[in-house]
Structure 1
Amino acid sequence: MSSSPSSTPWSTPCGTPPLAGGPGGADALRPLVATVLDALHDGAAARGGPLPPGGPEAVTAHVRDALADVLPDTGTGAEEALHALVTALAYGAADPAHPHCAAHLHTPPLALAVAADLAASALNPSLDSWDQAPAASALEQLVTRALATEIHPTGPAPDALVTTGGTESNHLALLLAREHHGPTLQTVCGANAHHSIRRAAWLLGLPEPVTVPAPDGTIDLTALAAVLTDLRGPLLVTATAGTTDTGSIDPLSEIADLCDTHGSAFHVDAAYGGPLLFSATRRHLLTGLDRAHTVTLDLHKLGWQPVAAGLLAVPDTTMLDALAHTAPYLNPDDDTRAGLPDLLGRSPRTSRRPDILKVAVTFRALGRTGLGHLVDRVCDTAQQLADLVDKNPHLDLYERPTLTTVLFRPTDATDEAVAATRRDLLTHGHAVLGRAHADGHLWFKATLLNPHTTPTDLDTLIALVEGSTTR
């Protein structure tokens, strides 16, 4: 029988805390996990809504009170420290599991994925050498190659790298293109592209990207053709499958045709929209994705994973050769020749968590049908919200949603009023809505990623917006 936290030596300030791994790891974790779960419940119950009321000063004061002395002379013990700080963090969280927390591409993670992440943390393999992560490195290879094959089904040897998210994946895509085409590589992106494309070009010492207009939220093909005709030298065209502001998807097949005509490399940032591949009814929206040389995917968006769960997929694993790197204490040549997997070329990072475990568990548990159901459910929820806005004489809808993003605003409201209403909802803890500029106006942005959101939740969200607008 395992001891309760209050009776174990390590729960007292002078005890030596046990480790999470090994034969005794489960017994050590079990009471602590119970404490964490209680604290998560208590913090969320005290908060009551999608985020704490009072704004930054109130939240900071609450955390300061809970934290007290950052490094006390005498510790308070495991149970007290866990309960106090986890409760404070849960109370002060913007809870993506609340149906009115709908501002960002910040998904509520599935419970099974969080449970798998606990196992990953407890085992703590580091994927920078095989002798630190034998099973984790094998799992990563199997899952990433299967995922890459979903994206590039006819590629000669599809492969994918695990990243921290869309930003790192986009950075790696530009890095690989630079190493293949040279430092004069010119990136061409739409005005709708994620900010990480321009930032990656700057970090890599590449020329400032050429921006193509996207007047309707997607790349203007005529303008793109003109740009590609005028430019000289190696080119990389980046398209987006699921823009941050509107969830729009660029015309991938047509862009791929232009890239073929002009001999340009082609990258697709599908961090948001990539999981449409799992939906039998919506995967056609990604037609042409398989023609990209590199594809960004981010499963802590429409994949319901805890951060981080990004990937960069390529149709041929040899395209990753530029990342090869040797450190004698991690991947000496004789070990590699003897058959030990070389992991350093799988990331620009050295120490890496086994983030693929939670993805593998989710895929095994839900299968393609279950994942597709979740994708379809949240997309359908976005259509329901669009219907409510369309029928409301006091609200304007920007456009029908492609994915799960809905832009709307009060009719005749000024941009200043929209911004003030959003902040009012935030500081009172009523709702978390994003903001986006389109058609010369500021819009509320609802990014609906919670598959448990109900029509009643949507009605309440609209009522909250209207109530705050009239104050």
Structure 2
Amino acid sequence: MTANDAPPHRTTGITAVPTDGVTGMSASASALSGGVSGAAALEPLVRAVLDALAEGAARRGGPIPAGTPQELAARVARVFAEPGGEDALHRLTALVAAGSADPADPACAAHLHCPPLAVAVAADLAISALNPSQDSWDQAPATTALETLVLGELAAMAGYPSTAAGVLTSGGTESNLMGLMLARDRVLGRATGRRIEHHGLPASPPQARIFASAAAHFSVRRAAALLGLGEDAVVTVPVDRELRMKPEALAGVLRECVRRGELPMAVVATAGTTDTGAIDPLEACASLAAEHGAWCHVDAAYGGGALLSDRLAPLLAGLGRADSVSLDWHKLGWQPAAAGVFLVRQAESYASLARRAAYLNPADDEEAGYTSLLGLSLRTTRRPDAFKIAVTLGVLGRDGLGRLVDACHALARAGAAAVRAHPRLELHADPVLTAFLFRYVPADPARADRVNAGLRRRLLREARAVVGRTELPGEGPGRVRLKLTLLNPHTTAAEVERLVHLVAAAGQAEEEAP
């Protein structure tokens, strides 16, 4: 799955390469990466990196480095302080590999942190070597066209019409910010009769409200603050036990908002919460948003991966009705970060982001066909992250990626079954996608939160497992839960069961500790 899976390559070392006579560096180290000579210069460096990755992984020997954070920081500081030289690439790569969490390890299952496909890593290397920037056509001729094609394919997969548009982002946080910014510009602009994008907010705008579930990502509130609306603009909608937004509760808070003379600006539905993978009722959310003239944004950063699976895609029914969507291919897409995607149903929604910079996208160049993507992104300099997605789709196709999604879903179900069968573990709910919550149940229920938090740190300290930790919505004790997020399709059900039993054993040890 990862570059670590490649067989180790032994070299004679970079120091044996002749220096260039100008900088004193080796020719391979000092050469620029572009062109034929650059490709030749990369070859020994790539071999050195692969060698160092294997060395570091062997030194680590597990899913995460053993010891305390302070001990690891001291090791990093010690190696970083060593004199520089030709071995710096190998030495620092081995250091980072030895000190990293390995998402390919079956016992590393805490976060939406996938082991990237080797072919995607290789594609990322090609882009790093060429270093295009997507803010003007003359910096990225081929990848400008390629990004447009890839986004068209992803938009169709999401159920969007040919009027859709989009951009690659750094992830769900940026995508959610973009969705809410376009919502603000359209809904507030319509309410005040002004073009928000050119003149800023009116002096006394109506109080805009954003509706998101109690399990929505924290970036929704952060976006509200960044947009000048304030975090208090976000209205929390209650969820059911599976952490899905209650449609009747959404309808109630929307009615109350209108009764108070406030403006329903956006409904943010979550398709795949970070803790349980819960999917809000997308059809109902879209209908209620439309009924109240609000923008509907779906945060499908995690759950969007279900679009790849024939079995799970029906979970996202109604996605195509949303005004905008966030997708992250560095979660259930097995891409190196970052590979976020932001899509809008109607390209005209992008009007507020349109900008003209004479040195990047002059009007006469655009009219002549030298199209710029500048007006689609919050960023200016931007690498073509669509390339690795294009390569992955070319190699595996939707069907191949769908099989990986289905394999991880099956692993989550197997893990949940192992939890359910263990007398000291309690499952919160069956997995929707590839994650589930559970906890160790000590003899004294009053110690449950402390024991579960402690057992997770015990596993980290002993370098035995990386298990997630979260809290259920609400107040008071008894809300701490452990989390397994299974994103390595090469892991076996037996390995997941062993991990579950490892957690239970750590819970017992923590419970018995003084």
For normalisation by structure 2, the TM-score amounts to 0.87
Measured in 2, the distance between the counterparts of 1:160 and 1:202 equals 23
Q: 2:99 aligns with which of 92, 102, 106?
A: 92
Distance 1:353 1:392, change over 3 A: same
Measured in 2, the distance between the counterparts of 1:227 and 1:11 equals 71
Choose 295-304 or 454-463, whichever is displaced more.
454-463
Partner of 1:76: 85
Measured in 2, the distance between the counterparts of 1:213 and 1:55 equals 39
Partner of 2:187: 181
1:199 pairs with 2:191? no
1:269 pairs with 2:299? yes
Measured in 2, the distance between the counterparts of 1:41 and 1:190 equals 43
Q: CA deviation at 1:20?
A: 1.1
Q: CA deviation at 1:156?
A: 4.5
Measured in 1, the distance between the counterparts of 2:301 and 2:92 equals 32
Q: CA deviation at 1:234?
A: 3.9
The C-alpha deviation readout for 1:397-436, integer Å capped at 9, x for no partner, is 1110001111111123510000000011111111111112
Measured in 2, the distance between the counterparts of 1:466 and 1:47 equals 24
Q: 1:222 aligns with which of 248, 253, 257?
A: 248
The C-alpha deviation readout for 1:58-101, integer Å capped at 9, x for no partner, is 111111122115xx6xx402xx1111000000000011111111
Partner of 1:213: 238
Partner of 1:115: 122
CA RMSD across the alignment = 1.8
1:445 pairs with 2:514? no
Q: CA deviation at 1:220?
A: 1.4
2:34 is matched by which residue type in structure 1?
G
Partner of 1:386: 416
Distance 1:270 1:11, change over 3 A: farther
Q: CA deviation at 1:4?
A: 7.5
The C-alpha deviation readout for 1:119-149, integer Å capped at 9, x for no partner, is 0000000111111110111111111122112
Partner of 2:3: none
**Residues 171 and 197, structure 1, Cα contact 8 Å, conserved in 2:** yes
Q: 2:63 aligns with which of 50, 60, 64?
A: 50
The C-alpha deviation readout for 1:26-80, integer Å capped at 9, x for no partner, is 21111100000000000011101100011211111111122115xx6xx402xx1
**Residues 151 and 166, structure 2, Cα contact 8 Å, conserved in 1:** yes
**Residues 242 and 248, structure 1, Cα contact 8 Å, conserved in 2:** yes
Measured in 2, the distance between the counterparts of 1:3 and 1:64 equals 27
**Residues 189 and 209, structure 1, Cα contact 8 Å, conserved in 2:** yes
Q: CA deviation at 1:276?
A: 0.7
Partner of 2:507: 469
User: Where do 1:18-29 residues align within 5 Å?
Assistant: 18-29=31-42
Q: 2:456 aligns with which of 391, 403, 422?
A: 422
Identity of matched residues, %: 49
Measured in 1, the distance between the counterparts of 2:62 and 2:139 equals 42
**Residues 184 and 265, structure 2, Cα contact 8 Å, conserved in 1:** no
Measured in 2, the distance between the counterparts of 1:88 and 1:219 equals 44
1:46 is matched by which residue type in structure 2?
R
Measured in 2, the distance between the counterparts of 1:340 and 1:13 equals 39
Q: 2:213 aligns with which of 159, 166, 190?
A: 190
**Residues 152 and 315, structure 1, Cα contact 8 Å, conserved in 2:** no
Partner of 2:168: 162
Choose 364-373 or 338-347, whichever is displaced more.
338-347
**Residues 266 and 293, structure 1, Cα contact 8 Å, conserved in 2:** yes
Partner of 1:138: 145
Q: CA deviation at 1:9?
A: 1.1
**Residues 278 and 371, structure 1, Cα contact 8 Å, conserved in 2:** yes
1:211 is matched by which residue type in structure 2?
T
Q: CA deviation at 1:455?
A: 2.0
1:104 pairs with 2:111? yes
Choose 104-113 or 319-328, whichever is displaced more.
319-328
Choose 195-204 or 343-352, whichever is displaced more.
343-352
Choose 88-97 or 23-32, whichever is displaced more.
23-32
Partner of 2:6: none
Measured in 1, the distance between the counterparts of 2:121 and 2:138 equals 26
**Residues 254 and 264, structure 2, Cα contact 8 Å, conserved in 1:** no
Distance 1:63 1:223, change over 3 A: same
1:349 is matched by which residue type in structure 2?
R
1:28 is matched by which residue type in structure 2?
A
Distance 1:156 1:357, change over 3 A: closer
Q: CA deviation at 1:456?
A: 2.5
**Residues 152 and 314, structure 1, Cα contact 8 Å, conserved in 2:** no
User: Where do 1:306-385 residues align within 5 Å?
Assistant: 306-385=336-415
Task: State how many pairs are aligned.
Answer: 463
**Residues 280 and 372, structure 1, Cα contact 8 Å, conserved in 2:** yes
* Residue aligned with 2:183, SS: helix
* Residue aligned with 1:23, SS: helix
Measured in 2, the distance between the counterparts of 1:11 and 1:287 equals 63
For normalisation by structure 1, the TM-score amounts to 0.95
**Residues 13 and 76, structure 1, Cα contact 8 Å, conserved in 2:** no
Partner of 1:35: 48
Measured in 2, the distance between the counterparts of 1:56 and 1:161 equals 37
Measured in 1, the distance between the counterparts of 2:435 and 2:99 equals 25
Q: CA deviation at 1:160?
A: 1.6
* Residue aligned with 2:156, SS: helix
Measured in 2, the distance between the counterparts of 1:316 and 1:235 equals 17
Choose 206-215 or 353-362, whichever is displaced more.
206-215
Q: CA deviation at 1:321?
A: 2.0
Measured in 1, the distance between the counterparts of 2:303 and 2:265 equals 24
**Residues 13 and 48, structure 2, Cα contact 8 Å, conserved in 1:** no
Q: CA deviation at 1:235?
A: 2.2
The C-alpha deviation readout for 1:180-205, integer Å capped at 9, x for no partner, is 12254321111110000000000001
Choose 169-178 or 329-338, whichever is displaced more.
329-338
User: Where do 1:276-287 residues align within 5 Å?
Assistant: 276-287=306-317
